[in-house]
Structure 1
Amino acid sequence: MLAVLLLLAVASLAGTGLQSIGLQAGTATAAGSDACPGKPLVMGTSPDYPPYENTDAKNGGDIVGLDIDIAKSIAAKLGCKLEITGMDFNGLIAALQTNRVDFVMSGMSVTDERKQSVDFSDTYYAARNTIVSKKKNAYETLEQLDGKRVGVQLGSTQENAVAGLKDATIKKLNRIPDLIQEIKSNRIDAAIVEDAVALDAIVANPDLAITMLPAENAQEGYAIAFPKGSALTPAFNEALQDMDASGEKQAIVEKWFGKHEAVTAGKHTIDFSTLNGYTSYILRGVFVTLLFTIVSALLGFIWGTVLSLFKLSTVKPLVWFATVYTSVFRGTPLLLQLVLIYYATPQLTGYDIPPLMAAGLAFGLNSAAYLSETIRGGIMAVDRGQREAAMALGIPYRTMMISIIFPQAVKNILPALVNECVALIKESSLVSVIGVTDLLRRASVVQAANYRALEPLLFVGAIYYVLVLILTSLARLLERRLRRSD
């Protein structure tokens, strides 16, 4: 529990992908007073879709874009505070259904399939599908993509646009920058994306070309998604109508659709100068990674010790519990456990568990299953004669375990404990799937900004390696000290 309390105390300082924006209108509307009764509105978005939403890594890491400005304006009109949380696009609907967010605004198109799961506001922007490909082999029609390798964003309406292609290999990825990278790496021939996003991509990548598809391939339009039966829907529709009437929404559209920052993305050599302005943003992820690792290791060690004692107990129910627990957590994927804890906790208990806390619990509970066997082996490796001597002297069992047996067991299993901590540092990259801005998530943000994957990934890989070297060096010093104390 100490680990959990520590995680709760510092999660708000760790940059878990949550952006809080205080917006207070001078006079809240009647709808607004019902929209946020004593709590902020939480918006879910996938910040890798410029100009609609992306992370401004060079200027503090805030999420910015067309959707963000519209959401801020609506929140102000309703007299509400706004919080923005970033996650992968394919997790947005699940976040709505589990009440992790109040609404989703992420360039999401209205489809019949989505209408079965969520409610939509009025359309606030209509876009057209676009083919993105290399200039030297540009495609002008969907028919030309028959038999080709075509990429689309997972969970997007572009999946429907390519459904009729003949003999085409469809590759579905979570993020638009990954699709652009696949085209540049010749892993796919083309990608279908929305027009404004395509324009942003070719400004940053002059070796690419785009072709607007005919109007019959146009999307139904982007809208704001809400949980089924949400009272926010009419209030947001009223605010959107006010923005239309005043011209405010059109001004926001013109602001972002005319904003394209050219970056050097066409080079084939390694150029670390492309990280200028981003290094401080990436390095802030070290704190998140270390915090997560320390808390997970602490929770895993404490709970693993308890489980090992359960397994050594003569009380059968405790032995059965520890055995089943270990079997379940070692027999299911860690990523599945992480996602279950993050999404199932609010659905089953009503508690909106913070992403970093969910990650700490998942990794700590999983680590405990492995450490319980390691600790049990260490305890059993201690000479049995020491237990018999302690019992002959009348030393209580608890005192014997804490003062005599356990210190020797820890000394024996110290290399295994260090290996577990090293594994936690490296596996911490999995937490990016629930929006925790750790090192790997920040590298992905930089890749989305400059369309270069190698440099940020190498930089983050070097940071992970240095962290592991520091940990192993400290472990060697501790081992030498323990040997001298024998």
Structure 2
Amino acid sequence: MSRWLKWSLSAIAAVLLAAGVWTNTSGGEPKTIVMGTSADYPPYESVDAKGGGEVVGLDIDIARHIAEKLGYELKISNMDFNGLIAALQTKRVDFVMSAMSVTEERKQSVDFSENYYTARNTIVSEEEKSYSSLEELKGKRIGVQLGSTQEKAVAGMDGSEIVKLNRIPDLVQEIKSGRLDAVILEDAVALEYTAGDSNLVYRFLPTADEDEGYAIAFPKGSPLREEFNAALADMKADGSLQAIVDKWFGKEESERRGNGILDFNILDGYMGYLLEGVFVTLLFTFVSALFGFVWGSILSLFKLSSMKPLQWFATVYTSIFRGTPLLLQLLIFYFATPQLTGYDISALMAAGLAFGLNSAAYLSETIRGGILAVDKGQREAAMALGIPYRTMMISIIFPQAIKNILPALVNECVALVKESSLVSVIGVADLMRRANVVQADTARAFEPLLFVAVIYYALVLVLTSLARLLERRMRRSD
């Protein structure tokens, strides 16, 4: 193995290890417990983007109180709501608190604690419509959060179009854009989103449609369930649970959100939080690109090898990774790795591996084409001089192939920068995830998304400019 290849593999290992350490700093603590939540549901849980990006809310305060009482160190894992049950089943998290209602369907998959709060459903709509019953919603477009009990509230409504989305902010934005007539939300969440927007109102559904109660979810047979039940009982008895409820539900929203077509003043205080995502996006892109290039180069050599098993392996590998969605590969790496191997892979490392392996499948064909494009006379001359095959490929053929495929390599890096937004679905706090957090906090979608779009565009411009400089320098060296 050449020194160049050894250095590249060592660099990949070092970066992946650093990524794993960076996102798992509490992994060695024996009494650490991990809480799964979807921090887009204020006042239960949300990201305090102005206060450094910490996850805060009623559920968080209750969890911290219980963890401290039981002698645990709490770690919070933020992800989409519809992935919380899967995270429990694959042991990504030890318990879930995310305003999750107890239902018979969920009881089949997880164990629940005693209820810690019971809420009511409401109808959120524009003020001019102001629906107050499900009867009035017949034939309308209704939004609910995917995997929530609000789905149950609208189940069986003939003639109505039910739209299910992952995130509450997206549902609220759909009302404001006119694509939904109403959204079914829990009372405290509805209050949070309507308090700062004079165009939105909420109306309680009749008491017969009350939720079944919020509880803490655990993996089946978890010993934590009894410990948490005892702690909850103590909190109810000494009044600390009610004090936390009063703290979050007694808050009044004094800040009015912008209602104009475009108001970038709402980003005041969020700029630093958004810009921190640039580091995460660049780190992820560097890891994926380096890994994909090295592994793609090896795969291209396999395809050009005279050994049939290597050719078959490379062909099948490329077929699998090009034939399945990248998002699916990402979710499999993140959720299946702990279940199959017992290793608690970090979100950033899982993303780097998934994107790197996927990129390698595409790059292997690009690199193979670049190698075949090198004049055959170069190989014949090297062989006539007695240059070993490995030396010939690495020192003569491969550098010329890189010159031929440099534009294609730049395109792949650009694609990685943009596709990195997919890692937000597993909770990596990249640019896209942070834009979603600001959207949830301000109930405004266009401004944070446009700001992040400008950042992505700037990153791509810098990348392409550097590639042009490199291409000019390589041409001068000919």
Query: Normalised by the shorter chain, which TM-score bucket?
Result: over 0.9
1:43 corresponds to which residue? 35
Q: Kindly indicate whether residue 377 of structure 2 is the aligned counterpart of residue 368 of structure 1.
A: no
> Aligned equivalents of 2:398 and 2:434: distance in 1?
40
2:349 corresponds to which residue? 357
Contact 1:206/1:266, CA 8 A, preserved across alignment: no
Letter in 1 for 2:307: V
Contact 1:4/1:361, CA 8 A, preserved across alignment: no
Match of 1:152 among 144, 156, 171: 144
Q: Tell me the secondary structure at the aligned position of residue 122 of structure 2.
A: strand
Q: Kindly indicate whether residue 21 of structure 2 is the aligned counterpart of residue 6 of structure 1.
A: no
CA spacing shift, 1:300–1:19, aligned 2, 3 Å: closer
Match of 1:132 among 117, 124, 138: 124
> Aligned equivalents of 1:232 and 1:223: distance in 2?
13
Match of 2:285 among 287, 293, 296: 293
Letter in 2 for 1:172: K
Extract unaligned runs of 5+ from structure 1: 22-35
> Aligned equivalents of 1:266 and 1:149: distance in 2?
25
- Shift of residue 415, structure 1, vs aligned partner: 0.5
2:247 corresponds to which residue? 255
2:223 corresponds to which residue? 231
Deviation track 1:112-157 (CA, whole Å, cap 9, x = no partner) reads 0000000000000000000111111111111111111000000000
Contact 1:44/1:104, CA 8 A, preserved across alignment: yes
- Shift of residue 268, structure 1, vs aligned partner: 2.9
Match of 2:302 among 306, 310, 315: 310
- Shift of residue 38, structure 1, vs aligned partner: 1.7
What aligned pairs does 1:100-119 form with structure 2 within 5 A after superposition? 100-119=92-111
2:268 corresponds to which residue? 276
Contact 1:19/1:84, CA 8 A, preserved across alignment: no
Match of 1:465 among 446, 457, 467: 457
- Shift of residue 4, structure 1, vs aligned partner: 4.1
CA spacing shift, 1:7–1:264, aligned 2, 3 Å: farther
When structure 1 is superposed on structure 2, of 459-468 and 202-211 the one drifting more is: 202-211
> Aligned equivalents of 1:479 and 1:153: distance in 2?
49
Deviation track 1:444-463 (CA, whole Å, cap 9, x = no partner) reads 00000000100100100000
Sequence identity (%): 71
> Aligned equivalents of 1:218 and 1:337: distance in 2?
39
Q: Tell me the secondary structure at the aligned position of residue 245 of structure 1.
A: helix
2:442 corresponds to which residue? 450
Deviation track 1:47-93 (CA, whole Å, cap 9, x = no partner) reads 00000000000010000000000000000111010000100000000
Match of 1:340 among 317, 332, 340: 332
2:4 corresponds to which residue? none
Letter in 2 for 1:229: G
Letter in 2 for 1:7: L
CA spacing shift, 1:62–1:19, aligned 2, 3 Å: farther
Match of 1:54 among 46, 65, 69: 46
- Shift of residue 164, structure 1, vs aligned partner: 3.2
- Shift of residue 11, structure 1, vs aligned partner: 4.5
Q: Give the TM-score of the pair, scaled to structure 1.
A: 0.94
When structure 1 is superposed on structure 2, of 200-209 and 287-296 the one drifting more is: 200-209
CA spacing shift, 1:458–1:76, aligned 2, 3 Å: same
Letter in 2 for 1:8: L
- Shift of residue 7, structure 1, vs aligned partner: 2.3
Q: Tell me the secondary structure at the aligned position of residue 318 of structure 1.
A: helix
Which 4+ residue blocks in structure 1 deviate beyond 4 angstroms? 18-21
- Shift of residue 276, structure 1, vs aligned partner: 0.3
Extract unaligned runs of 5+ from structure 2: 1-8
1:32 corresponds to which residue? none
Contact 2:125/2:131, CA 8 A, preserved across alignment: yes
Contact 2:50/2:273, CA 8 A, preserved across alignment: yes
Match of 1:74 among 54, 61, 66: 66
- Shift of residue 266, structure 1, vs aligned partner: 4.8
Contact 1:19/1:62, CA 8 A, preserved across alignment: no
- Shift of residue 20, structure 1, vs aligned partner: 6.9
Contact 2:67/2:74, CA 8 A, preserved across alignment: yes
Contact 2:139/2:161, CA 8 A, preserved across alignment: yes
- Shift of residue 296, structure 1, vs aligned partner: 0.2
Q: How many residue pairs end up in the alignment?
A: 469
1:207 corresponds to which residue? 199
Q: Tell me the secondary structure at the aligned position of residue 96 of structure 1.
A: helix
Q: Tell me the secondary structure at the aligned position of residue 340 of structure 2.
A: helix
1:143 corresponds to which residue? 135
- Shift of residue 383, structure 1, vs aligned partner: 1.0
- Shift of residue 202, structure 1, vs aligned partner: 1.0
Q: Tell me the secondary structure at the aligned position of residue 262 of structure 2.
A: coil
Contact 1:48/1:176, CA 8 A, preserved across alignment: yes
When structure 1 is superposed on structure 2, of 395-404 and 459-468 the one drifting more is: 395-404
CA spacing shift, 1:433–1:37, aligned 2, 3 Å: closer
2:256 corresponds to which residue? 264
Contact 1:264/1:450, CA 8 A, preserved across alignment: no
Q: Tell me the secondary structure at the aligned position of residue 244 of structure 1.
A: helix
2:3 corresponds to which residue? none
Deviation track 1:360-395 (CA, whole Å, cap 9, x = no partner) reads 000000000000000001111111111111111111
Match of 1:436 among 425, 428, 434: 428
- Shift of residue 37, structure 1, vs aligned partner: 8.6
> Aligned equivalents of 1:126 and 1:301: distance in 2?
53
Letter in 2 for 1:243: M
Letter in 1 for 2:296: G
Letter in 1 for 2:17: L
Q: Kindly indicate whether residue 469 of structure 2 is the aligned counterpart of residue 477 of structure 1.
A: yes
> Aligned equivalents of 1:200 and 1:20: distance in 2?
33
1:176 corresponds to which residue? 168
Q: Tell me the secondary structure at the aligned position of residue 137 of structure 1.
A: coil
> Aligned equivalents of 1:397 and 1:261: distance in 2?
71
Letter in 1 for 2:436: S
> Aligned equivalents of 1:308 and 1:263: distance in 2?
58
Q: Tell me the secondary structure at the aligned position of residue 128 of structure 2.
A: helix
Superposition CA RMSD, Å: 1.5
> Aligned equivalents of 2:270 and 2:18: distance in 1?
28
> Aligned equivalents of 2:344 and 2:205: distance in 1?
42
> Aligned equivalents of 2:25 and 2:240: distance in 1?
23
Q: Tell me the secondary structure at the aligned position of residue 218 of structure 2.
A: strand
Contact 1:297/1:424, CA 8 A, preserved across alignment: yes
